[in-house]
Amino acid sequence: MHDPRVLLDPATDAVRRLARRGFHLDVESLEKLLTSRNSAIHRGDEARAEAKRTAAAVKSATPQERPALVERARELKAVVSAAESEHRELEAQLQDLLLGIPNLPADELPDGASDADAEVVRVWGEPPAFDFTPLDHVDLGERLGILDLPRATKLSGPRFTVLRGKGPALERALARYFLDLATEHGYTEFSVPTLVNRETMTGTGQLPKFEQDLFKTGVGDRELFLIPTAEVPLTNLHARETLALEDLPLAYTAHTPCFRSEAGSYGKDTRGLIRMHEFSKVELVRIVDPARSRAELEVLLGHAEAVMRGLGLAYRVVKLAAGDIGFSAEFTYDVEVWLPGQQRYREIASASDCGTFQARRAGIRTKAKDGTRGFAATLNSSGMPIGRTLVAILEQGQQADGSVRIPEALVPYTGFDVLTPA
C-alpha cells in the first residue's frame, strides 16, 4: 500500500509509472479524499482544544457565565463527535482506494504487458537434444505409471492430479532437496497454516482485489482463505511488529500446499501439471532493509537458480515487463525452464522485490539504532513449485526407451536414478 502523499508528490511520477502497468491513477479522487479526511481531523482537533479550554473556564466561571459555557461545551462535544465520524468514514474510503492501487513498477523494467515483452537476462545450460520425438510430461507420466489425471478428475474435477508409485516419492524428494538447499543458504524453515484470515491475505496484496482467485471457507463464523502461496503466512509472521534494522535480513522458507482458483485462466494449460488448483511449493521470503532490497533480490534470485543448476535443468532468467509483474511487486525476475514437450521456455519460479508495499499493508516496521523508524522491504521467490519441477525433470530427462533419468542430486533422496515404463 502507498502513502497517499507520496502518490500525489510530482517527484514520484506515480501516474506515469502506474500507467506502464495499465493502471489509471484517479488523482482527483485521491486528492479530494485526502483533503477531506485531513480537514475532518483538523476540525476535530480544533474542537477538542476549545472544549478543553471551555472545561477549564467552567471551573472558574461565575454563576452567570457558567450556563453559556456549559452549552458551548455541549456544542463542541457534538462537533468532535461529528468530526470523528466523518474522519472514520473518509479514512475507510481512502483505505479502500489505496488498497486497490498496485505497486509502482521500477523504471528499469521493459515496457509491455505479456511474457513476449520480457527481457532475457541470461541462459544457463543447453536444452537437451533428442534423436526421437520428445513426449510431454502427461504422456510420459502415464507411460511411467506415476500420473493418473482421469482419476484426479473423477475425485475433484479438472486441474487436479493424482500421483502414484514413484511419483509421490519423487515429489517428496524434491521438497526435501529444496528445503535442504534453502537451509544451506541460511533460511529458517517454518511450518505455517494453510488457512489464514482476511487481514493476512490483505497484508500481502491478495485482498481485496483478487478475492475471485482464492478459495474461501470458514469455521463457524470465522472467514478463512486457503493460501495461494506460503509467501502469505511467512511475510505476515511479522505483521504489526517493529523489527530492529540491524537484525535484517530475515530469511524464511516453508513447504506448503497452495490453492488457486485460476479464475480467468480457463483454456490455458489445461493439459497436465502446469496450472493446477492445488499444488505444493517451497517458498523463499526475505525481509530486508529497504536500502538493500534490489541487492537482496539478486541474492534471492541466485538461490532460486541454484536449485535449477543443482538439478542440471536448462533454464533462462528474464526480467518481466512493467505490465506483467504481480500486484505487489515493483520488480520481478522469472526463472523459465526448457520444456521439450512444448519446445519453449516456461515459467517455473518468480523472484520479486515488493519494496515497502507489503510492509505498509501489514504494518511491518523497522527501527534503526539511532531511533529512525520506517517500513521493511519484502521479497519472495518460489524455491520451486514441486509440480512444475517434476514436469521439467520428466521432459528433459526422457530417454529413447521411454525411461526418465533422475537428476543425480535427487538420487540420495529418491533411492532410485531412473523411472521406467510401468
Residues acting as catalytic residues: 260, 275, 347, 350, 388
Give the span between the Cα atoms of 252 and 13, in whole angstroms: 34
349 marked as part of a ligand binding site: yes
Strand ranges across the sheet with 119-124: 119-124, 315-319, 331-339, 344-353, 377-385, 278-288, 250-259, 188-189
Rg of the chain in Å (alpha carbons): 27
262 marked as part of a ligand binding site: yes
81 marked as part of a ligand binding site: no
60 marked as part of a ligand binding site: no
106 marked as part of a ligand binding site: no
344 marked as part of a ligand binding site: no
235 marked as part of a ligand binding site: no
153 marked as part of a ligand binding site: no
Give the span between the Cα atoms of 64 and 137, in whole angstroms: 93
Long-range Cβ contacts of 367-376 (<8 Å, 24+ apart): 367/242, 367/243, 367/244, 367/245, 368/245, 368/246, 369/244, 369/245, 369/246, 373/242, 374/245, 374/290, 375/290, 376/238, 376/243, 376/248, 376/287, 376/288, 376/289, 376/290
Give the span between the Cα atoms of 276 and 279, in whole angstroms: 6
350 marked as part of a ligand binding site: yes
261 marked as part of a ligand binding site: yes
DSSP state of 214: S
Query: How many Cα atoms are found within 13 Å in the side-chain-facing hemisphere of 197?
Result: 8
117 within 8 A of 27, measured Cβ to Cβ: no
**Residues in the annotated binding site:** 229-231, 260-262, 283, 347-350, 382
**Residues in the annotated binding site for ATP:** 260-262, 347-350
**Residues in the annotated binding site for L-serine:** 229-231, 283, 382
